[in-house]
Amino acid sequence: MAISLYDVSVATSIQIVGSMVGVLQKGLDQLGEAAADELLGYRLKEDMLPFHFQLNGVRHHSLGSVQGMQAGLFQPPPSLPRMGYVEFQAFIAETLEQLKAIDAQEINALEGKPMLFKMGSVEIPFLCENFSMSFSIPNLMFHATTAYDVLRMHGVELGKMDFLGQLRVGH
């Protein structure tokens, strides 16, 4: 059985965004809301974007990338209104529900279709499958890993299985 564009893009996003729902809940449970809110501005290094941006990146490189493939254009994420940790939890949970509602046939029909990444004057032409596999899924993993690492650095007890989420198993 061949792996489809839906499998690579949407199913992988569902797995990682689903894991982030659980990771964020463990963060809230173990830190409490006030301490979790304080983490939103935390940066692993001063030249990295803060925790809240990592969470926005999780949404943008999952649901946003699928929407970009559908539209033929992907751009940097819009700025978000100021939110607390619990609101970010809801934002990520909503992302998961929207991903689950995406039709596999609609996404698979995008295979071979051109799309454009545009950031200011930078334009990178892709085919949808190359965009997903070489740009968006690696970015999704980066932002999810960075958010996971911020929580781990602040004492949240998380393991690799928390990050991996619901595995897609079968024979």
pLDDT tier at 171, thresholds 50, 70, 90:
low
pLDDT (0 to 100) of residue 169: 85
Is pLDDT at 167 greater than 90 in this prediction? no
Q: What percent of the chain has pLDDT over 70?
A: 99
pLDDT (0 to 100) of residue 47: 94
What span, in angstroms and rounded, lies between the C-alpha atoms of 114 and 112?
A: 7
Cβ contact 150:44 at 8 Å: yes
Is pLDDT at 81 greater than 80 in this prediction? yes
Overall CATH class of domain 11-164: mainly alpha
From residue 134, alpha-carbon distances to 60, 61, 103, 129 in Å are 15, 12, 22, 8
Mean pLDDT of the residues in the chain: 95
Is pLDDT at 95 greater than 80 in this prediction? yes
* H or E element that contains 115: strand 114-119
Distance of CA 126 to the CA centre of its chain: 20
What span, in angstroms and rounded, lies between the C-alpha atoms of 31 and 112?
A: 45
pLDDT, tens only, 18-71: 999 999 999 999 999 999 999 999 999 999 999 999 999 999 999 999 999 999
Is pLDDT at 1 greater than 80 in this prediction? no
